[in-house]
A and B are shown apart, each in its own frame.
With several copies, the nearest count.
Chain A
């Protein structure tokens, strides 16, 4: 089972990872975007962390929704609505729950991903965060089918995101700012796919050995 505290620990660990990788994410965005992805994410997750302590009941759905609405209200840019919608929709799928089975976590994750796809309208291969999130989902589903532990399943999920992230390098972007570069966007790793990998790597780290 994944507890309420696990979820909060995950969000906190990701927030710390974002801060640690702020310059790196911004650097990636300066190659094919507008040099703000790390700054945007860090602004949002600094605000998120400030909200976590004030949460009243141990409701995973409510907590994730707070993360989402805080991101929408503080990040801006493309990543604000996208990550915001991800957390809001993920939270909506588990309203009132104090703990999640791996299956429930997977379903919630898929609901969040659905929100990203709906508002961002990106297809796999467009060189966006979707290219990390979809392989992550697929890896998680496969791990569950294999009967993997929480720890193993989430690690395989993070590995899936990592491969997806690396696979964005040769792509020519069709969505987001990188698309303005046309062919010149090839050869660079997508910043949003990179932060999405960090998101799932943080989960794998928090839940290691479980």
Chain B
């Protein structure tokens, strides 16, 4: 295992210390491992929090700040945080207008957030939750754990954060988050596995000429393993199930998000974006906004995911609104 770390046990603490030292103007880190907006709580503002395992940086801690999250709860690497964290986060950001929990659809996240929400409600804080489940690689069914929450989470956090910043109430913010969920679809692939620091070796092994299609963001193996293909073929394999699922139609305007899994350089992500543009052009779908980079990662995994969000004026307005976080910044 080759990583720039001191010890597997201290990765998350060391990283959070680095985040606190680097971005004291934006965030503070409180016990038990919660990244909180420096100026939280803001009286009368709906609090927006999220959380999940570490190893997906900049998500979620890098998205705390003006116009996005009020707090983030990083668990151990690839492990849902504990309810104590979400409870502390909820209390730290509650400005009297209630708190929205943005929860990625994993059994662990769901259960831990639910326990925290119960505790927060017991302390008199109004809490709502929206579950993001946008990964079309997973068959959606009532009898399974359902789809994973992946790239759509980043877009939800930005858009919902803007609405909360603008003063929307808890019901409105919650409905907006659900609207993002209803209009967003994602799919990912890996060229390499990643190595959980405490595990010390790759989660799965891939041959030199193989790739995994349909991976999540936790180094889980995907649904199919196949021979390496060209960027154009890979883009089609990811985009087609996404497009067909919602479905996205000619005339739609979308936000196209090409995400790297942590070990993929930008040059390759632009190659993928170029192929995606061709596919969407051919279907008469307009890329009105885009985001290209490593935003929701799986440690040092090489690979990418594509997320498409169908935009309307409301979503576009909140996407364009100023944001100032360590990981995403514009407009100020």
Contact = CB atoms under 8 A, between A and B. Distances in A.
Interface stretch (B38-46, B96-104, B168-176, B218-226): B218-226
A78 B108 contact: yes
Contacts of B82: 72-76, 80
Q: Is the interface of A mostly helix, strand, loop or mixed?
A: helix
Contact of A120 (B84, B107, B199): B107
Contacts of A96: none
Interface string B196-222: 101100011000000000001011110
Interface stretch (B72-80, B273-281, B288-296, B323-331): B72-80
A181 interface: yes
Contacts of A75: 79, 82
B204 A30 contact: yes
B3 to A, nearest CB: 15
Given A30-B199, A33-B220, A34-B220, A77 B204 contact: no
A30 B193 CA distance: 11
A195 interface: no
Contact of B220 (A72, A76, A119, A180): A180
A76 B296 CA distance: 20
B260 to A, nearest CB: 19
Interface residues of B, number: 36
Interface stretch (A35-43, A50-58, A132-140, A148-156): A35-43
Contacts of A170: none
A182 B80 CA distance: 22
A174 B144 contact: yes
Interface string B31-51: 000000000000000000000
B89 to A, nearest CB: 14
Interface in A4-33: 26, 30-33
A40 B76 contact: yes
A24 to B, nearest CB: 12
A77 B111 CA distance: 8
B84 A180 contact: no
B261 to A, nearest CB: 14
Contacts of B75: 76-77
A43 B76 contact: yes
Given A30-B199, A72-B115, A77-B108, A179 B145 contact: yes
A76 B223 contact: no
Contacts of B131: none
B161 interface: no
B143 A174 contact: yes
A184 interface: yes
Nearest to A172: B144
A81 B84 contact: no
Contacts of A32: 221
Interface string B213-246: 0001011110100000000000000000000000
A114 interface: no
B139 A182 contact: yes
A176 B112 contact: no
Contacts of A82: 111
Contacts of A176: 107, 145
A67 to B, nearest CB: 15
Interface of A: 26, 30-36, 39-40, 43, 72-82, 119-120, 174-177, 179-182, 184
24 contacts: A30-B199, A30-B219, A34-B78, A34-B203, A34-B220, A35-B78, A39-B79, A39-B199, A76-B108, A77-B112, A78-B80, A80-B82, A80-B108, A80-B111, A81-B83, A81-B115, A120-B107, A175-B145, A177-B107, A177-B220, A179-B145, A180-B145, A180-B223, A182-B139
Closest 9 CB pairs of A and B: A34-B218, A81-B111, A78-B108, A77-B108, A78-B107, A77-B79, A35-B203, A39-B198, A76-B79
Interface of B: 53, 75-84, 106-108, 111-112, 114-115, 137-139, 143-145, 148, 196, 198-199, 203-204, 216, 218-221, 223
Given A75-B79, A179-B138, 5 more contacts: A33-B220, A34-B196, A76-B108, A78-B111, A177-B216
